[in-house]
């Protein structure tokens, strides 16, 4: 079965704190893709990153970084020096070919960054 | 920039009405998707389409149908709306099936 689990339903931090959003996935496929999306209060999901299963290199983009570890089936997302504008719901998602190319989303983590 | 637009941001309908939700993308993407989003459940796929006039059921197709007569337009139809279809509906498109999906702003549908 394919599944994505985001165990943290809500996280609240104070501005400038670092915060890590956890994502654990399940799949038996060897080829798959992992994604993170941000959904601000406006409602539109914004694509953040796509990672394929053969590339375990960590990635950094400004204050955002991602840690992909196949050994623990995790794809965690860290925001460094958080800002109020980072407040949003963040979704992790999995795509495998055995699912016909369908995205499987986690339940989402609502991040609240307070000034 | 990819633009995915949805016909309405908010919609209120009555039980039993036929409801059309329209989605248009302007980047010539092959693939289009309809999701519904409910608190605590994340996004769940209703239907998707890999080509014009082609459709595939997602995880929760019951009570819905779709139409894709043109490449850029993907419509979601609720034949007879029910209160349990009150939800946020999100449309998305992608160039290939393993690429990132781009989402529209969503339609918040309330069925009374």
For residue A108, the chain B residues in CB contact (below 8 A) are 42
> How does pLDDT run across B45-102, given as a tens digit for each residue?
999 999 898 899 999 999 999 999 999 999 999 999 999 999 999 999 998 777 889 9
Tokens of A110: 């609502």
User: CB of B8 within 8 Å of any CB in chain A?
Assistant: no
For residue A48, the chain B residues in CB contact (below 8 A) are none
User: Does B33 sit within 8 Å of A43, measured CB to CB?
Assistant: no
Q: B34: distance to nearest CA of chain A, Å?
A: 11
The CA-to-CA distance between both ends of chain B, in Å, stands at 37
What span, in angstroms and rounded, lies between the C-alpha atoms of A73 and B90? 28
At residue A33, the pLDDT reads 93
Mean pLDDT, residues B4-23 taken together: 96
């Amino acid at each position: 079965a394919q599944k994505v689990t985001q165990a943290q339903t809500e996280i609240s931090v104070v501005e400038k704190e670092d915060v890590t959003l956890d994502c654990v996935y399940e799949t038996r496929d060897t080829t798959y893709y992992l994604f993170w999306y941000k959904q601000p209060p406006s409602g539109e999901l914004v694509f953040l990153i796509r990672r394929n299963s053969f590339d375990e290199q960590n990635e950094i983009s400004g204050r955002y970084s991602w840690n992909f570890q196949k050994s623990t089936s995790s794809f965690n997302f860290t925001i460094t020096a958080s800002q109020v504008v980072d407040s949003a719901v963040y979704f992790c998602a999995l795509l495998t070919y055995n699912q016909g190319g369908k995205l499987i989303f986690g339940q989402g983590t609502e991040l609240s960054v307070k000034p | 920039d990819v633009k995915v637009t949805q016909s309405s941001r908010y919609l209120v309908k009555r039980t039993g009405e036929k409801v059309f939700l329209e989605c248009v993308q302007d980047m010539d993407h092959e693939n289009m998707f309809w999701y519904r989003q409910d608190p605590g459940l994340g996004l769940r796929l209703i239907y998707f389409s890999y080509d014009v006039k082609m459709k595939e059921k997602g995880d929760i197709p019951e009570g819905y149908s779709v139409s894709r007569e043109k490449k850029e337009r993907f419509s979601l139809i609720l034949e007879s709306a029910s209160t349990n279809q009150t939800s946020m509906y999100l449309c998305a498109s992608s160039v290939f099936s393993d690429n990132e999906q781009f989402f529209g702003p969503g339609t918040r549908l309330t069925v009374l």
